[in-house]
Structure 1
Amino acid sequence: MSGVVDGRVVIVTGAGRGIGRAHALAFAAEGAAVVVNDIGAGLDGSAGAGARGGPAQEVVAEIEAAGGRAVANSDDVADWAGARRLVRTAIDAFGRLDVLVNNAGFLRDRMLVNLGEDEWDAVIRVHLKGHFAPLRHAAAHWRAEAKAGRAPSARIINTSSGAGLLGSIGQGNYSAAKAGILGLTTVAAAELARYGVTVNAIAPAARTRMTEQAFAEDMAAPGSGFDSMAPENVSPLVVWLGSAESAGVTGRVFEVDGGRVALAQAWRHGPAEDKGARWEPAELGPVVARLIDRAPVPEPVYGTE
């Protein structure tokens, strides 16, 4: 291993299984001390194991068995006080915090006409607030460090999705939350740069509990050779984004799966027509038609092809 994050302290949320577990192991293998956060929840967010057991502690045991340093944390990342305790866990255990990887989440998929209020609220809470609350407390810590003359070289890596970039049939709540994370990433990158903090996002594709049912055919593991859907394929980019070497990269969104890394194109200003005065409604049909003709065809929503 290259030791690209040697000596850095990293929080990974939702790190008991799947992509989060792969991140935690990869950071530890490259020399980082890791706070492994996971409440042990079910795929739908149902209650999981407490602080004394569960998948977070299992990942800690793996890291320690390999000679690394890690501690478990079972706080709910979407709880304000819990997110504050999560940040304190890193500082109390290892004396500092350098990287926050927001990864935790779950699914409650349903077509919009059948989607219940509780299913909407739960997914928005764990994904969107579950990104904001740890980010907010980590950012406050890094701002205090910067003002005290201890300039951080800090990193936040958020987790969006192709559903956040393009939308996904049957996942209106999840798509909205993941799109919100992209907006949060953009704003946080602009606001936190002055404190030495970069903020980027990934939109990964891998075989996990959250994807194996929705994309069962595409996610089937090959019988031999390179497993293009292994969660471990996502982690090298995340580790690099958490390193000091990535200091010049912020406000970006990366799609990553298998051996592919792509820079996603965000919303941009497109074709325009300016009349120089207020439009009349009857005038706008041809205007909109010309704008659409001059613009790229939108990427299809997942599930519509």
Structure 2
Amino acid sequence: MKKSRKIKINLLYLIKFTYYKYCNKIPVIQDSNQTLDEIIQHKKSIARFGDGELNLLHGRSLRFQRFDQSLADRLKAILTTSKDNCLIALPKPLIEQNNLNKKASVFWKNMFNKYFSIYLNYIDINKIYANTNVTRPYIDYQKNKTQDLLFQKFKELFKNRRIFIVEGAASKIGVGNDLLAETTTIRRIITKSKDAYDVYDQLLHRCTQLIQKDELVLIALGPTATVLAYDLSNLGYQAIDIGHLDIEYEWFLQQATEKVPIPGKDVSEAKHFNEGSHPELDAVYAAQILEYLY
């Protein structure tokens, strides 16, 4: 991005943010520690709205999820609801870029400039939102000790828990790293990596048949995860829209400085899929899979 365009984005953001703050239209969004503490201490679920979900609200397709009006309607309804057992999350970088690297800072300022007036149609400025980026603590940020502490907190959340994972093909959450090393059991449903909302009704039905109420549900399915986490929370499950946490952890372990491919895993933001694999680990992963739903 040219320097002149960055200057324009920064200047426009300063003007717009100052205006909306003066008008008391900037929502309160927790930091990542506050959000994770609520999840751990009060066993809350979380449905997260990132840039993809926010783009779907105003009709834009994503690389891994084409626009679907029923999905957009569900997202709008969830964003405006208030449930004690399920945190609704917005991206903190939309309104505060502390510790972000320069590229990420400009990205979120540009998002604010273009779309914040639209988001205000669905945001309750009197509500406290959780932080979407709780599951994205590493690659977009300047490196600091907080990142290690957040990953340790997630491990504490998973420790001694029975885990049920709902994920796209080749996501492989926890495979090849120690993120889920201290869990007691891991079971999985594998579904579509692209346009997962096409099979949403069947997916929700099978989840309610297979998942036990004492299992912690981790969901990595883009915008479909937002809806599924919310619906499962209403049915009495603790469901976490886990997003890119596993990939962020892989990058953290590598101390990566850019979004690089991870062997054997689908990394949507890397330039290509790395087809490397770990036969022994893949065998363990395969044994955890209860069902493929496409």
TM above 0.5 = no
TM-score, normalised via structure 1 length: 0.29
Report which structure shows greater RCO (CA 8 Å, sep ≥6).
2
> Highest Rg: 1 or 2?
1
TM-score of the pair, normalised by structure 2: 0.30
